[in-house]
Amino acid sequence: MRWRLIKWAAVFIMMCALFILTFWYYQDIVMTNTENGAIIKASSDIAMTVTLTTEITTSPNIAMPVIQTTEMTASFDIGSTADTRMTALKQVPPIHVLINARMRTGSSLTGRYFSKRPDTMFLYEPELTLRYNMSLRYDLFNDSAAQIEDIQTPFYELIGGFFDCEYTRRPELFHFMEGNDWAKSKNGLAHLQGADYNAKQISKKCKTKTHRVVKTVRINDISKGLEILKQYNVKVIQVVRDPRGMINSRIKFENLDSQEKKGLSMKKISEASKNYCIWLNTNINAVLVGPEWLKKNYMIVRYEDLSTKPRQIVPKMYEFVGLPSNDTIIKSERLGTGHTDAWRYSLPFNQTHIAQNNCPDDIFEKLGYVKVQNEIQQRNDSLSLVTSPHISKLISLA
């Protein structure tokens, strides 16, 4: 009698054990169900935001997975049970994006298509902060290759910190962002107020995003950053613009044609257009002759296409970096008409001439820009000066 009781008790205990084990096992499967997910363990009893992958599709034309994600907020209450290994949830590895541009080439516009997205963390020209570091002796308006090369090491440290959501890795970055409304708004953080605006909160917010996008206008030669780019598996979008449109915009931005600067303006205009062309040449060739990895992860977008055909171009950029398209954001940019060829009516031909002479024909041809021989051609708007680019393998254009 007692023997039978013990036997039944043993069976009961074994069944319970089996049930508990099955439960744990099942839970682990749920937690690590998707491939290469980092496991997050909830170590506190507060609510945490979790990103779940819902669908992974493959885009046929660029053979790259397009990851569509849905953000979900879940609240986990770790109760009185001693075990806190509950709620290990899977997160998709973040995707890192670098927008490689120059001043007045449309990089801010490109950046806003990312900074406005709820699923993206954005960083605007982090190199701006380096000007406060006296040991670097860095002049913002001098974008000669030699000047910019000098800040590449701290620059890559900054973006590495951002890609890891560690805003304090270099002392300059957060210092600059602190309480600066302009920087807050450029980085899509204007809504964070008071106690919410600090490195810890921003880092936390950063970690909930699927994409981390940095926009810079101060990379000298992309091939020299290859080690870091590969380490973070960065997708690079280079934004280019007609050198004559760029210089026209820069003259206005820096007031280079004002009376008091007249004497200097030609020299500055010449230097700026020369530096811009060196950057175009260096970076385009770095990709054309560079390793397969770079070719695969590099996209070139012309500002002229972006601003005249945003509904075709923006979805291509999103697809390239694995973001779902978002019409609300694409429509939110009101693009002025005639904006891109304003230079044809306002740039004096002698300055057009300088900008053209500072850039080899080869670069114009590769990018599909057409040089003009005289002022009549420049002002004749039935003459199209933006044609098909000749590096179609690199440019994902319509």
Ligand X SMILES: *[C@@H]1O[C@H](CO)[C@@H](O)[C@H](O)[C@H]1NC(C)=O
Q: Which residues here bind ligand X, judged by CB under 6 A?
A: 116-118, 133, 135-136, 142, 144, 146-147, 154, 171-172, 266, 271, 326, 328-329, 348, 350, 376, 380, 382-383
The nearer residue to ligand X, 116 or 252, going by C-beta atoms, is 116
Contact 49, 71 (CB under 8 A): yes
Nearest to 309 by CA among 333, 290, 285: 333
- Residue 379 CB neighbour total at 10 angstroms: 12
Q: Which residues contact 303 (CB under 8 A, 6 or more apart)?
A: 105, 106, 109, 239, 240, 241, 242, 245, 340
- Rounded least distance, CB 24 to ligand X, Å: 35
> For residues 150 and 288, which CB has a smaller minimum distance to ligand X in the complex?
150
Q: Which is nearer to ligand X, 271 or 333 (CB)?
A: 271
Q: Answer whether 238's CB lies under 8 Å from 107's CB.
A: no
Question: Minimum distance between the CB of residue 358 and ligand X, rounded to whole angstroms?
Answer: 15
Q: Which of 319, 276, 307, 243 is nearest to 112 (CA)?
A: 307
Beta-bridge partners for 215: 99, 124
> Residue 356 CB, nearest distance to ligand X (Å)?
14
Contact 146, 281 (CB under 8 A): no
Q: Which is nearer to ligand X, 64 or 266 (CB)?
A: 266
Q: Catalogue the E-assigned strands of 279-353.
A: 298-302
Q: Given the complex with ligand X, which of 69 and 297 has the nearer CB atom?
A: 69
Q: At closest approach, how far in Å is the CB of 386 from ligand X?
A: 14
* Choice between 225 and 397, CB closer to ligand X: 225
CB of 133 to ligand X, least distance (A): 4
Where would I find the beta strands (DSSP E) of the chain? 38-40, 48-59, 64-74, 89-91, 95-100, 120-124, 211-216, 235-240, 298-302
Comparing CB distances to ligand X, the nearer of 354 and 395 is 354
CA distance 348 to 174: 43
Residue matched to tokens 């902060």: 129
Query: Which of these, 175, 65, 51, 56, lies nearest to 121 by C-alpha position?
Result: 51
Beta carbon nearer to ligand X, 274 or 395: 274
Least distance CB 147 / ligand X (angstroms): 4
- CA dist 244 and 342 (Å) reads 10
In whole angstroms, how close is the CB of 172 to ligand X at the nearest point?
4
Q: How far is the CB of 278 from ligand X (least distance, A)?
A: 12
- The H or E element containing residue 31 is helix 2-31
Which C-beta is closer to ligand X: that of 172 or that of 242? 172
3-class secondary structure, 100: strand
Q: Could you tell me the smallest distance in angstroms from the CB atom of residue 261 to ligand X?
A: 12
